[in-house]
């Protein structure tokens, strides 16, 4: 169940806790004086929590909040799925986890887009937010919170934060001049803009070097945040936390940028230019800068303003922010500085991913060069797209999308790889998976002889690779590289398909059947003398089938974070008990109770792992 605008009584106990964390602590503007925290001012809270929540901080991960000025595209879907994989992996490992996503609904872009659509801004935002909520539901992301910056709880939290920054003297009023991008909602210094010639019109215009978006010279009086005062603190933080930004190349870029010097940041806009936003609580003539407003969503969603000592119960601080590489500065420079100024703990890591391109050109709502995620889902289904986007998507480098690539990869890796191996093991003739599992699983060391004792050199090497696989995948996930983790899982499937072909258990099964049909016993006697009697053949078959079944079982457990529906189907086909699908069972030999399918193989929706796509084009 997702926590959005549903009544608290409709939420799970944990989601209700998250929703109740927020309480405004500032005195509203109508009271005509500045907010001051007074003893006993906080309202009473229901802080009862499930016992397991009190022992460990929940894992808290977030997507960026998405602008509602246009419909979502494939890039938004990718970010959501990437974040969902990180959360599901933690849940797989038995940790309580929270995923927050939502929509950014303030700023000049929204104001202009709603006017163009002849709609009131709130009405325009409601429609946009509903579309992103629909997308989150269709791709089955397990978000606990869907925050909107037009929510009253968020607005109050932002105004409270502003007043704290003012009281600490981190905000001052001054005249501001500079190059402003409406599209990027930010000012750029002179060194970050350039003059270009528009290839379509031939007109000269100034654009941002980083984003290519047009900028205009603006002069106005507004409020500034003392970003320059945090240069040394940021650099010291980066030095002490070298893995703060993933991948490392973007960490290096941010360090270079901050080392080059920081200018104070304009954090408000005159109301006559920007009406649609959160007003400065002590100055009705100014609207709070959209990025200060937006970044604070991660805190307000987790319950900011916090009751001292209770922050961690709702997940704070963030374990991982997942963002696109185009908003690194905001999340890795501005956001840490805001948090330092508010004396709040900083995020543990920021995963910055590359972009999806279409025809080698960046997807962008402004140009229309996008893939409609709803159309893609209708063509391919949830899990094929989840699998494709995570495995082929880029963390360091951009990836190009093409429908033909989705079909090609699906047929080769999912149908021809994972689906084929599951079918060969579970529907093969001449062996019994349950018998093989009972013979070679060893949940208690010594209860059954380790399979490696009876295998040949190739078998021992293969068994060793299977045993070593889960820790390798966990290392990739710990390093925030889900793409490498998924490729590793699929590599194990491909690897065992090759081993299975070499071992050819079906040939051994035929030999076993021939020996069983020998009425004279002559062939059996000769085979036994040569060490290839019925018992030896059966054991050889069982060793291969067991290793194949274990490869599938371990893959199925780990794939629950990536393709949850298909992973469940695979584990059902193997007959893995639902109580034995957590990370603690992701170890070779630990489960000796599976091997009898809980679904009818080859029939119906649950009996086919990867059916044919509805549209091959």
Residue 208 · residue 215 · CB < 8 Å: yes
Beta strand 97-104 pairing with 59-67 = parallel
**pLDDT for 504:** 93
| Residue 217: per-residue pLDDT | 82
Given pLDDT bands bounded at 50, 70 and 90, which one contains residue 369? confident
Q: Are 575 and 594 in contact (CB under 8 A)?
A: yes
Each residue of 518-529: pLDDT tens digit? 645 555 555 554
Which SS3 state, helix, strand or coil, does residue 603 take? Answer: coil
Local confidence band at 210 (pLDDT 50, 70, 90 cut-offs): confident
Residue 63's φ and ψ, nearest 5 degrees, are: -90, 165
Residues in CB range of 536: below 8 A, 6 or more apart: none
Name the more confident of 448 and 257.
257
Alpha-carbon span 156 to 270, nearest angstrom: 20
Distance (Å, whole) CA 493 – CA 417: 7
Give me the residue label for tokens 């025809």.
359
Backbone torsions φ then ψ of 171, nearest 5 degrees: -125, 135
Neighbours of 101 (CB within 10 A): 30
Contact (CB, 8 A) for 22 and 304: yes
Q: Residue 519: its pLDDT value, please? A: 44
- Could you tell me if 108 and 274 are in contact, meaning their C-beta atoms sit under 8 angstroms apart? yes
Least confident of 73-87, 88-102, 476-490, 516-530: 516-530
pLDDT digits (tens, 9 = 90+) for 423-472: 999 998 889 999 999 999 988 765 556 788 888 999 999 999 999 999 99
Q: Identify the pLDDT of residue 6.
A: 33
Structure tokens at 314: 């709702």
Total length of the chain: 617
DSSP-assigned states of every residue in 480-492: T-HHHHHHHHHHH
pLDDT in tens, 315-365: 999 999 999 999 999 999 999 999 999 999 999 999 999 999 988 887 776
Beta strands 145-148 and 97-104 are: parallel
Sequence-distant (≥ 6) Cβ neighbours of residue 283 within 8 angstroms: 223, 268
Mean pLDDT of the chain: 86
Q: Residues 402-607: name the CATH superfamily.
A: Isoleucyl-tRNA Synthetase; Domain 1 (1.10.730.10)
Task: Tell me 40's DSSP state.
Answer: T
Residues 92, 561: contact at Cβ < 8 Å?
A: yes
Element (H, E) at 320: strand 320-324
Measured CA to CA, the distance from residue 235 to residue 238 in angstroms comes to 5
334 contacts 291 by C-beta, under 8 angstroms: yes
- pLDDT for position 518: 64
Contacts of 167 (CB under 8 A, 6+ apart): 34
Tens of pLDDT, residues 128-155: 999 999 999 999 999 999 999 999 999 9
Note the pLDDT tens digit of each residue in 167-200. Answer: 999 999 998 777 878 777 677 777 788 888 887 7
SS3 565: helix
| Strand spans (E) along 125-259 | 145-148, 171-181, 186-188, 193-197, 204-208, 216-225, 245-246
pLDDT of residue 435: 96
Task: Look at 258 and 193; give whichever has higher pLDDT.
Answer: 258
Amino acid 40: pLDDT: 31
The predicted pLDDT at position 46 comes to: 30
pLDDT-above-90 percentage for the chain = 68
Model pLDDT for residues 98-130, shown as the tens digit of each residue: 999 999 999 988 999 999 999 999 999 999 999
**Residue 1 corresponds to which tokens in the numbers above?**
């169940």
| Cis peptide bond upstream of 317, omega within 30 | yes
Predicted confidence (pLDDT) per residue in 45-54, tens digit: 232 333 344 4
């Amino acid at each position: 169940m997702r926590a959005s605008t549903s009544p608290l009584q409709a939420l799970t106990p944990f989601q209700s806790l998250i929703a109740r964390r927020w309480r405004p602590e500032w005195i509203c503007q109508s009271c005509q004086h500045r907010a001051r925290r007074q003893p006993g001012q906080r309202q009473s809270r229901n802080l009862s929590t499930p016992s397991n929540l009190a022992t460990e901080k929940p894992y808290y991960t977030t997507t960026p909040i998405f602008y509602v000025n246009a419909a979502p595209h494939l890039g938004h879907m990718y970010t959501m799925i990437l974040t969902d994989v990180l959360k599901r992996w933690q849940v797989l490992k038995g940790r309580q986890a929270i995923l927050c996503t939502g929509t950014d609904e303030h700023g000049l872009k929204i104001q202009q887009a709603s006017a163009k659509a002849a709609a009131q801004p709130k009405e325009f935002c409601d429609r946009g937010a509903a579309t992103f909520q629909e997308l989150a539901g269709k791709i089955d992301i397990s978000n606990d919170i869907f925050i909107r910056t037009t929510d009253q709880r968020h607005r109050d939290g932002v105004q409270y934060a502003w007043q704290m920054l003012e009281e600490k003297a981190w905000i001052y009023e001054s005249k501001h001049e500079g190059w402003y991008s409406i599209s990027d909602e930010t000012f750029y210094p002179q060194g970050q803009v350039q003059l270009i010639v528009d290839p379509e019109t031939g007109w000269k215009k100034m654009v941002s070097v980083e984003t290519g978006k047009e900028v205009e010279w603006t002069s106005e009086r507004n409020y500034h945040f003392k970003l320059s005062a945090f240069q040394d603190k940021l650099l010291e933080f980066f030095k002490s936390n070298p893995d703060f930004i993933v991948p490392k190349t973007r960490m290096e870029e941010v360090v270079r940028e901050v080392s080059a010097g920081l200018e104070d940041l304009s954090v408000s806009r005159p109301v006559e230019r920007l009406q649609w936003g959160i007003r400065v609580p002590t100055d009705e003539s100014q609207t709070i800068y959209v990025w200060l407003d937006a970044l604070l969503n991660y805190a307000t969603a987790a319950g900011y303003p916090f009751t001292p000592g209770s922050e961690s119960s709702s997940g704070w601080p963030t374990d991982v922010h997942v963002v696109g590489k185009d908003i690194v500065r905001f999340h890795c420079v501005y956001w840490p500085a805001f948090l330092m100024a508010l004396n709040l703990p900083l995020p543990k890591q920021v995963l910055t991913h590359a972009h999806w391109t279409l025809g080698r050109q960046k997807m962008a709502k402004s140009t229309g060069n996008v893939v409609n995620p709803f159309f893609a889902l209708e063509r391919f289904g949830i899990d094929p797209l989840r699998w494709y986007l995570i495995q082929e998507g880029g963390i360091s480098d951009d990836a190009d999308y093409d429908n033909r690539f989705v079909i090609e990869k699906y047929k080769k890796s999912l149908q021809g790889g994972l689906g084929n191996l599951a079918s060969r093991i579970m529907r093969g003739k001449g062996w019994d998976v349950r018998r093989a599992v009972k013979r070679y699983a060893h949940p208690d060391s010594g209860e059954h002889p380790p399979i490696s004792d009876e295998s040949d050199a190739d078998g021992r090497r293969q068994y060793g690779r299977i045993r070593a696989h889960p820790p390798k995948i966990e290392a990739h996930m710990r390093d925030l590289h889900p793409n490498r983790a998924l490729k590793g899982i699929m590599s194990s499937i491909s690897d065992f398909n090759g081993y299975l072909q070499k071992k050819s258990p079906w040939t051994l099964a035929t030999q076993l059947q021939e020996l069983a049909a020998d009425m004279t016993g002559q062939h059996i006697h000769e085979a036994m003398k040569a060490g290839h009697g019925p018992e030896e053949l059966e054991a050889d078959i069982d060793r291969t089938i067991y290793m194949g079944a274990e490869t599938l079982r371990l893959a199925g457990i780990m794939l629950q974070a990536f393709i949850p529906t298909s992973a469940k189907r695979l584990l059902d086909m193997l007959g893995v008990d639902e109580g034995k699908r957590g990370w603690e069972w992701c170890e070779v030999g630990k489960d000796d109770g599976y091997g009898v399918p809980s679904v009818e193989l080859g029939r119906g929706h649950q009996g086919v792992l990867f059916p044919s796509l509805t549209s091959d084009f």
